[in-house]
Structure 1
Amino acid sequence: MGLNLRLVVPLVYAAAVVVAFLIGQTVGSVVAIVGAILVAAFFVITARSRQRQ
């Protein structure tokens, strides 16, 4: 039984955003924006790789 990355990635992102906002609002905003871009890129890449299979 392996990790389901499509479930783990958003949960890790959400945890990172919460921790970053606890540190400071500016840090939280930066982490939220950069993290959202990275999570979106992850889902686009995994969707394309699934289409190739």
Structure 2
Amino acid sequence: MRYIPAIVLLATATPAFAAGAAVPEPGSMTLFAMGVIGLIVGRQAAKKRRDRD
């Protein structure tokens, strides 16, 4: 859960918000978030598997 503040900071500090550009549609943001969550979960599972062996 320590990654959540970093993800929120990354999402809010993008140049698109500073330049007033259009916000991506919610489906795109959902797919991006699911990919990031998948990477985090996958890395944690691999780390647990590696520690167990």
Relative to the length of structure 2, the TM-score reads 0.49
Relative to its length, the structure with more helix (as a share) is: 1
Larger Rg: 2
